[in-house]
Amino acid sequence: MRRISEPGEKWRRLPVVLMATGVVLLLLVGVGIYGLLRGPGIPTPVPSTESSTPAAPDTTYAPAPIEAEAGAEEFARTIALRLFAWGTTAGRGVDEFMQPLIDVADPEEAPGLVSDLRGYYPDQESWAKLRDAHTRQWLTIDTLATPSTWPAVSEQAAPGLIPPGAAAFTVTGTRHRAGVWEGQTVADARPVSFTIFIACPTGDACRLLRLSTVDQPMQ
């Protein structure tokens, strides 16, 4: 099993293709949280209700392996849900929730993907604050579709720059977060959008390539 490591050499394929085709997409992600942490430990508290905060799925607390044999759309949907599914009360660290995504990464894109992932997850200091608030997070998906610019990217790419079976899916949905702050149950929800780049070659397992920055999806 590959362990998480710091990004090394810059990714080799997708950014070259995107720049060559004139598609503006910021793939390089800095270390940060992108709005996942607001206020003391969890987002601005609001009363938790069943209608505004759907129940978190069981996978929140179980960073299990990801099934890579699924079809492209199913695989992308699983990646989207797992990106936002975590809980701080089971004694697990943030890297444990990132690891299953690293395990299904394309080897050539893995260093860049690690950088992408750090934009989706809290850093260690923030994780400690979230743990104190017994925070859990999950995603509900509204839409999952191929970006309108992706066909042009695929057509204009030079041979070998895009791996076989490559696909892109832009996701829109709602990121939910719930926890306990100062003795009261609190919850927060906000819209998110992002693009997942994968490769599902015929007769082979799907692999995760890269992720756009949160709220900067490919159009």
Question: Does residue 3 form part of some domain?
Answer: no
Band of the pLDDT at 160, cuts 50, 70, 90? confident
Q: For position 1, what pLDDT does the model report? A: 47
Residues near 98 by Cβ (< 8 Å), separated by ≥ 6?
4, 117, 121
Question: Does residue 216 form part of some domain?
Answer: no
Question: Does residue 1 form part of some domain?
Answer: no
Question: Does residue 144 form part of some domain?
Answer: yes
Place of tokens 């992408």: 116
| Number of neighbours of residue 157 by Cβ within 10 angstroms | 18
pTM tops 0.85, yes or no = no
pLDDT of residue 17 exceeding 60, the answer is no
Task: Count the domains in the chain.
Answer: 1
Question: Does residue 41 form part of some domain?
Answer: yes
Band of the pLDDT at 29, cuts 50, 70, 90? very low
**Residue 99 carries which DSSP code?**
H
Band of the pLDDT at 182, cuts 50, 70, 90? confident
Beta bridge partners of 197: 168, 210
CA distance 217 to 93: 28
**Residue 10 carries which DSSP code?**
P
Question: Does residue 174 form part of some domain?
Answer: yes
Question: Does residue 113 form part of some domain?
Answer: yes
Beta bridge partners of 207: 199
User: Across 24-65, where does the E strand assignment appear?
Assistant: 46-47
Question: Does residue 219 form part of some domain?
Answer: no
pLDDT of residue 41 exceeding 90, the answer is no
Residues near 168 by Cβ (< 8 Å), separated by ≥ 6?
146, 147, 150, 153, 195, 196, 197, 198, 218
Q: Which domain holds residue 82?
A: 14-211
pLDDT digits (tens, 9 = 90+) for 90-142: 788 999 999 999 999 999 999 999 999 999 999 999 999 999 899 999 999 99
Element (H, E) at 141: strand 136-145
